Amino acid sequence: MNNLIVRALTGAVFALLVLGAIFLDDRIASLMFGAFMLMGIIEFYKLFEHHKEVEIDWRLGTFFVILVYGIGISAIYQIIPTVFIYCTAPLIFILALTELWRRKKNPILNVAVLFMGAFYIGYPFYLLTVTNLTDSPTNWTDIENTDVFFRMPITAMLILLVWTNDTFAYLIGRLLGKKKLFERISPNKTWEGTIGGITFSVLLGVVFGLYTNNGNDFIYWIVCALIIAACAIFGDLFQSMMKRSLNIKDSGSLLPGHGGILDRFDALLFAVPFFVAWTWIYNYL
């Protein structure tokens, strides 16, 4: 089957799964994000399984990341007291101390990779889950007696902006792409595709801005679209740089036509922290 068709079918099923969970129930969405985070962190650590210098125990790293993530989410759900969130910082340092007993050749390099997995994978998924639970400080739900045609969770809007950029950058790049964007890192990415992705992300941002909260957050969504498009580009390039340095094509094979979980979430992982930061800055301006 043509790779484009496989990619489209996989993307459609994946989109229905993710957006369906977000719209259906916060708890289901939290479990879904947690599952993706688990698969992503395992996938990340296993990228170094045959590395000549990095010798990490992926099970140990995964255990600590899941423990920290679980404490944070449990506190948000008020399953445990919120004060337990402060216990997550010592756990990260305990993870570093485990290298004292492993007696490997490059302990500092091992710790760096373990930390990177925690912050590159665990932290964005935690922010995504919290954002979905607490929703936006911009009060997107405050829509009454208006002619708007949708009510949408802000997490879904964030994800749609990322996917819009990815989809149109890919399509326009294939159709019109000639001038390479960053050939040393990603030979297939072009300026034409990049500009196309940004353009359609901004257009979707315009739609969100006009039809959300009576249009009062128009500037917020335009800036969101620009930030998310830029982050999606850099997230994709960073993932490409990492795979190139490890001499691999895809981070995994779970998603036909896309690769692994990290190949599908690379743009979102970069976008979430910047999106959250901009949302709170906007709220307090």
User: pLDDT digit string (tens) for 233-264?
Assistant: 999 999 989 888 888 877 776 766 667 888 88
How high is the pLDDT of residue 226? 95
Indicate the SS3 state at residue 153. Answer: coil
Q: Which of 189, 203, 196, 200 is nearest to 172 (CA)?
A: 196
pLDDT tens for 53-71 read: 999 999 999 999 999 999 9
Q: What do you get for the CA distance between the two ends of the chain, in Å? A: 51
CA 248 to chain centre: 21
Tell me what percent of the residues of the chain surpass a pLDDT of 70.
Answer: 91
pLDDT tens for 38-48 read: 999 999 999 99
How high is the pLDDT of residue 161? 94
CB 15 within 8 A of CB 163: yes
Q: How confident is the model at residue 31 (pLDDT cuts 50, 70, 90)?
A: very high
| Helix or strand run (H / E) with residue 182 | strand 180-182
Structure token pair of residue 90:
């010592």
pLDDT at 203 over 60: yes
CB 77 within 8 A of CB 21: no
How high is the pLDDT of residue 150? 47
Q: Which residues pair with 182 in a beta bridge?
A: 186
pLDDT tens for 145-165 read: 333 344 578 899 999 999 999
CB 168 within 8 A of CB 196: yes
Q: How confident is the model at residue 136 (pLDDT cuts 50, 70, 90)?
A: very low
What number of other Cβ atoms are within 10 A of residue 49's Cβ? 10
CB 134 within 8 A of CB 276: no
Q: Which of 128, 120, 137, 122 is nearest to 155 (CA)?
A: 128
Q: How confident is the model at residue 93 (pLDDT cuts 50, 70, 90)?
A: confident
**CA dihedral defined by 130, 131, 137, 140, rounded to 10 degrees?**
-140
pLDDT at 35 over 90: yes
